[in-house]
Amino acid sequence: MTPRPDWLRAPAALPDGDARAGAAVHQLALTKPPGALGRLEAVAIRLASLQRLSKPVVRRPQICVFAADHGVVQEGVSAFPQEVTAQMVLNMARGGAAISVLARETGSAIELISLGTVMHIAPHPLVREAVIGPGTANFARGAAMTDAQLAQALGEGRAACERALADRRDLFIGGEMGIGNTTSASALACALLGRPAEDLVGPGTGLDGPGIGRKRDVVAQALALHRVSADDPLAALRCMGGFEIAALAGAFVACAQRRLPMLIDGFITSVAALAAVRICRGAGDWMLLGHVSAEPGHRCVVAALEAAGAEAPLLDLGMRLGEGSGAAAALPLVRLACALHAEMATFDQAGVAPKSG
């Protein structure tokens, strides 16, 4: 059994039932037929219960992108070389990546956290160095990380949540960068869901048919090697996870404990979220799913997150980039949901007759 850091034992906070009920009543008083704004109404009501506000707001979102390399790349599971991880972190820092553009356009703060890459990342004021090692070990041959490395990665995620709270952020978006991390996420998803590799392994960075087959074989080999129980998410993270995936899981648990709502990104981030809800019961109540990824295994993970209390995905745009990009793209919808809830007139205010009967 993998040791559990003490802070992971704290429960998730409970959403505010009174705030939820009040927001639902307010929605019925707005100048529209009940339910006419569909999911936007549900998002506003959910956020009201999480923020303990009758009229929720998202004015200060925080994006945290965790980056790390993966030893399993040695098995030929990626279409890109491993040095791309470090290169892309610098591209993000310089403002050239998709998540950089989305952060600017949505007015979101962005933090880049390097947990360990094969290629050295030149110092940059926007890159926080929290190096655990030069990437994980090859999980097709042995455990991806030690107990101490797992605890450190989880703790770096918790620290990111604490920094966001200290800066009075009101929504947390987690992102990731790491060549090989769809292989790690696929293996984790298989372990946590009890599904075979052929159900969940996809093209990731753009593998062709033979490449997907090789990746599927590597995941199946790892599952047979580690034989991790679906009831032991920490062991799954230690054996087959990545530093950035474990950090995301730690951040998501901490957000649920500390009452910070989350907007969850695509396949890799959702697998980290699945680990979080298995570690901390009730964490799913604090999650809104940003989008459905084109990565084939994502819908299975989404179904498990919804069953654990997460709000269903807001977008389905065929995206599969990662970085937090799908969640950031959904952020304007979350803000619109809040604005409609807060700024529409009620029937009484507008002098409009409500629905009869």
288, β-bridge pairs: 263, 311
What does the alpha-carbon distance between residue 324 and residue 327 come to, in Å, rounded to a whole number? 6
> Per the residue annotation, which of 41, 156, 244, 323 is the catalytic one?
323
Distance CA 158, CA 60 (A): 19
Chain Cα centroid distance, residue 212 = 24
Q: What does the alpha-carbon distance between residue 126 and residue 129 come to, in Å, rounded to a whole number?
A: 10
Q: Is residue 48 within 8 Å of residue 19, measured between CB atoms?
A: yes
State which amino acid sits at residue 255: C
Contact call for residues 330 and 316 (beta carbons, < 8 A): no
Q: Which two tokens stand for residue 4?
A: 């559990």
Active site residue 198: no
- Between the alpha carbon of residue 262 and those of residues 145, 194, 201, 331, the distances in Å are 27, 26, 26, 11
Under a CB-based contact definition with an 8 Å cutoff, are residues 59 and 339 in contact? no
Report the catalytic residues: 323
